[in-house]
Amino acid sequence: MSTPITDPAQLPPAFEKAMNSGDLNAVLSLLAPGAVMRTVTGESVTGQALRDYTAGSIAGNAQLSNGPSRVVAGDDIAFITEEWTMEVTTPDGNRKKATGTTANVARRGQDGGWRMAVLNPLGTA
């Protein structure tokens, strides 16, 4: 990410664009240091495991579609929810589709840019 995202509502479309373009570094640039993600299987991943999980989605030609976002922001933290659909090809060659409602937390960094700190595609499920 060359220019920091200055509005947390811009994160979901930026994430969608980076994922759909297959650009792992662009996706990872949208994550705060120490970011954690709850995967669609319920496992929590961070660090190298989060990188590997994201790389696996990209390798499966993941195509993400986000609905309208709802953002509540204050000072340096924001809560973001949205409907999403993702299609990905699994290692066995089958195309799978998943849907859900996110419950994500973004954090503003020292550079003034917003990044995802907690990614929870399963929301409250």
Domains of the chain as residue ranges with CATH: 8-119 (3.10.450.50)
Distances (CA, A) of 125 to 55, 100, 108: 25, 9, 27
**Whole-number Å distance between alpha carbons of 24 and 10:** 18
Contacts of 1 (CB under 8 A, 6+ apart): 14, 26, 29, 30, 113
pTM: 0.92
pLDDT above 90 for 118: yes
What is the reported pLDDT for 1? 46
Q: What is the pLDDT of residues 104-113, one digit of tens each?
A: 999 999 999 9
Q: What is the pLDDT of residues 7-18, one digit of tens each?
A: 999 999 999 999
* Alpha-carbon 77 to chain mean position: 16
Q: Which residues of 42-63 are buried (b: 16+ CB within 10 A; e: fewer)?
A: eeebeeeebeebbeebbebebb
Per-residue pLDDT band at 44 (split at 50, 70, 90): very high
3-state secondary structure of 52: helix
